[in-house]
Structure 1
């Protein structure tokens, strides 16, 4: 079986993931549970750096990545408590 060709490298996707990782460093936790990032966290990043895409797209991507992180964190916490 021949493996498919890898996807082309995306500088925009890389910049968005790096931005998310930087913003996520400001994440707060409550009793060991991660809280969602706020718009203030995203705004603080945008005050220092130029977003690689339009702001509404940037916000949507950051919050979607954060939702995925939160979902995975809650799944892991559920398995530990079960």
Structure 2
């Protein structure tokens, strides 16, 4: 399944005084996966686009922290 949230396992030193974080996550922007902007993309209404930060729906990605759950009210 495709997701913009990626994860990796960093190096853990045996001499690290803190408990290690075994898996770290990061989020990539959706525009990195579109090679070119196709014509006639669906758009948000202008007042909604200002709130979301983009005019085109395929480029919108609400950020969720790693411990947050997605809610149904976000259109996802």
TM-score scaled by structure 2? 0.31
Higher helix fraction (1 or 2): 1
Higher strand fraction (1 or 2): 2
The higher radius of gyration belongs to: 2
